[in-house]
Structure 1
Amino acid sequence: MPDHSAGAPGSPSARLLLALILGQIGLHGAMAGVRLAAPLQLLGQGGSALSVGLLMALFAASAVLLAMQAGRMADAHGYHRPMKVAVVMTGLGALLPLLATWLPAGATQFVLLGLAAVLCGGGANFGLITIQRTAGRSAADGVQRMRVFSWLGLAPALSNVVGSVSAGALIDLAGFRGAYAFLFALPLCAAVLARQVPHEAPPQPATSAGRRSAWDLFRLPGIGPLLAVNWLLSACWDVHSFAVPILGHERGFSASTIGLILGVFPLAVTGVRVLIPVLAARLQPAVVLRGAMLATGSVFVLYPFIQSPWLMGACATLLGLTLGSVQPMIMSTLHALTPHDRHGEALALRSMTINASSTLMPLLFGATGAALGVAPVFWVMGTAVGAGSRLTRRLKS
């Protein structure tokens, strides 16, 4: 595998890595909190399910539309300029719904909440691409990159605790204004932490990524197969979160039982990402990806036949272990395959495929499930990801 990231500095310091993780928590936590609070605010004032669905779609849509700008800005200017954009966008995204609490329910308030969704979704993703690019470039080799991205992969789970859980608690304790005020402070914390990240030397004008098409990256060996693998595995996350509640309901499980089955999944994801840094020197990304795809495909084929909640919980745990191991491998491989001055663009392409999938695939799953039942959703996706494991042969470790 050609390592285009050669020339990166040595092992990243714990201080830098902590600043990147906490910075992502600040941005993603604010977005997750607004994504919870804004629909609740809308529903509490008599909003329809359609208006809530539109609001939720805006979070992912803006992430898709702004991803490439984020990647190119990061390639051209390093960490700090795009991070400022991310902080401003996400901060405004939390401030607008705070202002909306002083307005009567109606079109104006909905417009403010919609703008908040656009700003939070786009801003958090702007920051994510910037943070991931800096994290990958701070490592000197593939082993260090796997370790860095494993630790960074803990940030989304922690963000949901900081953002969603805290916002929910504050809504009950202090109302929506208290929740939005807290969420507004989170991006400001990310701005303060940015001071711990060193500035990069500006790139040479001749290597500026802005003069080339991002789609040229697909001509590089391995990029297309890697992004296809990433899309298949990302879709598996969406299938699991969509289909397990339906399957559990069909089995007559209680809401708490279904919640526990879904809850063991992120615990397993967190566990494997804590373990990967210890085992990184022994792992080959292509082998791990192939094994994860085959295991995921097998579990998906078996899932609809399982009647016991304990066995479904075991399947969810296994899926958490397999799918949780994927992101560090994909991110490390993506950085190795991409030219040093185009890491931001490559991350943007990855982000666009994931967010587009998360927007469109649930609609497809819903249509399929309504017509044929939820079992075919598992079987089709399991077969696709299992067959897609052949793509990993084109990713040499």
Structure 2
Amino acid sequence: MTAELARLIAGQICIHAAMAGMRMAAPLLALREGYSAAAVGVLLALFALTQVFLALPAGRYADRHGLKRPVAIAVAVASTGCALALVFPYFPLLCLAALATGGASGAAIIALQRHVGRVTHDVTQLRRVFSWLAIGPAVSNFIGPFVAGLLIDHAGAQPGSIEGYRAAFALMALLPLATWFWVRHTQELPPVIAAAGGARQRAWDLVADTPFRRLLLVNWFLSSCWDVHTFVVPLLGHERGLSASVIGTILGAFAVAAAIIRVLIPLVAERLREATVVTAAMLVTAVLFGIYPLLPTAWAMGVCSVLLGFALGSVQPMIMSMLHQITPPQRHGEALGLRLMTINASSVLMPVLFGSAGALIGVAGLFWVVGAGVGAGARVAWLLGAPEPAQAPPPPGH
């Protein structure tokens, strides 16, 4: 890992941790103030909703302006949103902070991913850098809520006081500024100019491209698996009388396994082929989803969760590597925006669908239906095949 990549990962962690901390603290404050579970659900949805609508414009903006300007705007928006929650800790402002931090973190991550993809020189480097970059959200999803929780419990006169929440919001407002500290000295790359005289490019042109469409479909399959595991394991654990700490440990084991596999991928990146890794991950996930509801003990569920973490954790670096190979360099940001838009739309809609389906077919049935779907989708991943050498990313400056 180069020093520049380490700085970019640190910047990603800071702005994403601000969003993750707000995503934990804002609902808790809303519940403290007496708002209903439905209102809190709306508040949580706002963190992803902004990214559904802003991801594509943010990607296009990054294609035109590179790294620093999109990140600077994202830093300003995220800090302002958190500062408003600090000064006016009321529900409408918490909703505004959710929209601001969710949209800003998505826009910053698109710009960072685009820049990192452009500075690579070959396919092996793509796999390595995106494996390192994928560790950032795992770290920030731990740091943000953990530190915010400590402040909420210990910064005020008593645990859960409004002073504690204000302290948490103050730190969340400072974290995006740290992102700018890490990113500000990064060498900006020259823009990639599309050929003159061509037709006006639209997002549909990317979706109409068969490899990219297959990639989005595969990404959606695997993102849905991640969502269904997060959604269903608490329900399955509750059915079996497991405590909250045991259920949390099972989910935590999944997250740790996903982070570990992303650390290991750079060590063997040159021996991997993206389509093979993704296809294998989908088949393994299908098998694990088939046996998960049949496991009788928490230990067995924990082992299955770890194996699932290894499988699903290996996917994102491969998806990102393929995305940069099959899309034109001047449209990488737009392609990243489309990917983020579909993931967040799925995260908003799928829990509702899971809840309805689970009521009809039960928790086990939900695992089996999704497992069968992802197993059938493995053929789509295999059809992605090896990218053509001519579509590899160009050296910086081209």
Alpha carbons of 1:294 and 1:209: their partners in 2 closer, same or farther (altered >3 Å)?
farther
Residues 200-231 of structure 1: CA deviation (Å, up to 9, x unaligned)? 22343656999411110123341111110000
Which residue of 2 is the match for residue 143 of structure 1? 124
Tell me whether 92-101 or 273-282 shows the greater mean CA deviation. 92-101
Cα distance in 1 for partners of 2:336, 2:213 equals: 13
* 2:311 aligned residue: 322
CA deviations over 1:255-288 (Å, ceiling 9, x no partner): 2221211111011011101100001010000000
**RMSD of the alignment, in Å?**
1.5
1:6 alignment partner in structure 2? none
Cα shift at 1:131: 0.8
Task: Find out whether 1:55 has 2:36 as its counterpart.
Answer: no
How far the C-alpha of 1:100 sits from its partner, in A, is: 1.4
Structure-2 separation of matches of 1:71 and 1:324: 24
How far did residue 33 of structure 1 move?
Answer: 0.6
Instruction: Write out per-residue CA displacement over residues 288-316 of structure 1, whole angstroms, 9 at most, x where no aligned residue.
Output: 00000000001001111111111111110
Choose which of 98, 115, 121 in structure 2 pairs with 1:117. 98
What residue in structure 2 maps to residue 233 of structure 1? 222
Matches of 2:220 and 2:290, distance apart in 1: 19
Alignment partner for residue 290 of structure 2, among 301, 316, 330? 301
Structure 1 letter corresponding to 2:115: T
Which residue identity is paired with 1:143? T
Q: Distance in 2 between matches of 1:227 and 1:156?
A: 20
Q: Counterpart in 2 of 1:380?
A: 369
- 3-state secondary structure, aligned to 1:139: coil
Q: Does 1:156 align with 2:144?
A: no
1:340 and 1:198 mapped to 2: Cα distance?
A: 18
SS of structure 2 residue aligned to 1:307:
coil
Distance 1:209 1:262 in 2: 49
Structure 1 counterpart of 2:353, one-letter code: L
Which residue in 2 is equivalent to 1:14?
A: 2
Query: Does 1:170 find its partner at 2:151?
Result: yes
Q: 1:30 aligns with which of 3, 10, 18?
A: 18
Unaligned regions of 5+ residues in structure 1, if any?
A: 1-12, 102-108
- 2:103 maps to a residue whose letter is G
* SS, match of residue 47 in structure 1: coil
Instruction: Give 2:31's match in structure 1, choosing from 43, 46, 63.
Output: 43
Q: Do the aligned residues in 2 keep the contact of 1:209 with 1:341 (CA within 8 Å)? A: no
The residue that corresponds to 1:72 in the other structure is 60
Q: Structure 1 residues 207, 43: CA separation in 2 closer, same or farther (over 3 Å shift)?
A: farther
Q: Is the 8 A contact 1:72 1:210 kept in 2?
A: no
Q: What's the CA shift for 1:371?
A: 2.5
* Total equivalences in the alignment: 378
Residues 115-152 of structure 1 deviation map (CA, whole Å, 9 limit, x = unaligned): 11110110000001111111111111111011001111
1:87 equivalent among 52, 62, 75: 75
> Structure 1 residues 368, 77: closer, same or farther in 2, change over 3 A?
same
- Once the two structures are superposed, residues 135-188 of structure 1 have per-residue CA deviations (whole angstroms, 9 ceiling, x without a partner) of 111111111011001111110111022211100111111101111111111000
Give the drift of 1:358.
0.4
Distance (whole Å) between structure 2 residues aligned to residue 20 and residue 266 of structure 1: 22
* Matched residue, 1:182: 171
Aligned-partner residue type, residue 225 of structure 1? R
Q: Deviations over 1:56-95 (max 9, x none)?
A: 1111110111001110011001001111111111111211
For normalisation by structure 2, the TM-score amounts to: 0.92
**Counterpart among 179, 202, 224 of residue 213 in structure 2:** 224
CA pair 188-88 structure 1, distance change in 2 beyond 3 A: same
Tell me, in whole angstroms, the C-alpha distance in 1 between the residues paired with 2:353 and 2:191.
44
Residue in 2 that maps onto 1:286: 275
Percent of pairs with identical residues:
52
Amino acid aligned to 2:295: I
Which among 252, 257, 266 is matched to residue 277 of structure 1? 266
Q: How much has 1:197 moved relative to structure 2? A: 1.4
User: 3-state DSSP class of the match of 1:222?
Assistant: helix
Say whether the 8 Å CA contact 1:15–1:196 is kept in structure 2: no
What code does the residue aligned with 2:17 have?
Answer: G
The normalised TM-score by structure 1 is 0.93
Distance 1:334 1:178, change over 3 A: same
268, 290, 294: which is aligned to 2:257?
A: 268
Give unmatched runs, 5+ long, in structure 2. Answer: 156-163, 387-398
Q: Which residue of the partner structure matches residue 393 of structure 1? A: 382
Equivalent-residue separation in structure 1 for 2:69 and 2:100 (angstroms): 17
Q: How far is the alpha carbon of 1:254 from its aligned partner?
A: 1.8
Determine helix, strand or coil for the equivalent of 1:198: coil
AA at the equivalent of 1:352: M
